């Protein structure tokens, strides 16, 4: 069975500061890993994903994440926060199988607040 733990349900940063959102997972098979962002009253939007290959993955809006198998982690970072980054962020994992792509297990979410 898969599981995802996001450390910290709320993270607050100043504009221009580093953003670090933590995600640890467990999976019995090689995982596919995702970060999604949700703005108020909207659906989720894919930020980035790791399937195979390079462990440092770059996504939209300047975000990136690094897959560390030894630490079972997939932390999301952005060097400099912008006010528009304020949203809820979800880490998710799926089995690395074709029909499993959308059968994601989500973390509980981290609300990012950005202060001027």
Partner 1 sequence: NAGVTQTPKFRVLKTGQSMTLLCAQDMNHEYMYWYRQDPGMGLRLIHYSVGEGTTAKGEVPDGYNVSRLKKQNFLLGLESAAPSQTSVYFCASSYIGELFFGEGSRLTVL
**Interface contacts to partner 1, rule CB under 8 A:** 4, 9, 32, 34, 36, 41-46, 49, 51, 90, 92, 99, 101-109
Give the shortest CB-32-to-partner 1 separation in angstroms: 6
- The Cα–Cα gap between 81 and 86 comes to 9
Residue 16 tokens, joined:
């221009």
Give the shortest CB-12-to-partner 1 separation in angstroms: 18
Give the shortest CB-5-to-partner 1 separation in angstroms: 11
**CB closer to partner 1, 102 vs 116:** 102
**CB 49 within 8 Å of CB 96:** no
């Amino acid at each position: 069975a898969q599981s995802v733990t996001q450390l910290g349900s709320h993270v607050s940063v100043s504009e221009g500061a580093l953003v670090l959102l933590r995600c640890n997972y467990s999976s019995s098979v090689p995982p596919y890993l995702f970060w999604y962002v949700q703005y108020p009253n909207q659906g989720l939007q894919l930020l980035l994903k790791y399937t195979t290959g390079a462990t440092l993955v770059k996504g939209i809006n300047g975000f990136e994440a690094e897959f560390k198998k030894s630490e079972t982690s997939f932390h999301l970072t952005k060097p400099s926060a912008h006010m528009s980054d304020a949203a809820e962020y979800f880490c998710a994992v799926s089995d690395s199988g074709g029909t499993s792509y959308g059968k994601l297990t989500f973390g509980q979410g981290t609300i990012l607040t950005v202060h001027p």
